[in-house]
């Protein structure tokens, strides 16, 4: 295998990993959106951070946010409080 072929192989691997990462991040945000729909919340936005995803939501004019991670089974694991618990304290 020549150097050019090795170079293109490395670029291909990096591109595949980049695309997979983008797809996974979108799926993680969509899981938060689904949670909002199932619990009567308005999904405002989702932002990916290194250690968690931040879900921005609204209910009856009250805006809030909550952090979550996704476990290996694809389930949301809330950091501290769920959005519904946060709304109860408001």
What is the 8-class DSSP label of residue 80? S
Q: What is the pLDDT along the chain (90 residues), one digit of tens a residue?
A: 678 889 999 999 999 999 998 888 888 899 999 999 999 999 999 999 889 999 999 999 999 999 999 988 888 889 999 998 888 876
Q: What distance in Å separates the CA atoms of residue 12 and residue 18, rounded to the nearest whole number?
A: 10
Q: What distance in Å separates the CA atoms of residue 30 and residue 37, rounded to the nearest whole number?
A: 10
User: What is residue 26's three-state secondary structure?
Assistant: helix
Q: Dump strand ranges (E) for the chain.
A: 42-48, 53-59, 62-70, 76-79
Nearest to 90 by CA among 53, 61, 70, 52: 61
pLDDT at 90: 67
């Amino acid at each position: 295998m020549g150097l050019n072929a090795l170079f293109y192989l490395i670029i291909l691997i990096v591109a595949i990993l980049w695309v997979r990462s983008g797809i996974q991040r979108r799926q993680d945000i969509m899981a938060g959106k689904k949670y909002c729909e199932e619990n009567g919340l308005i999904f405002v936005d989702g932002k990916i951070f290194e250690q968690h995803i931040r879900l921005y939501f609204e209910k009856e004019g009250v805006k809030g946010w909550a952090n979550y991670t996704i476990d290996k089974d694809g389930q949301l694991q809330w950091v501290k409080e769920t959005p519904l618990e946060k709304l109860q304290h408001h």
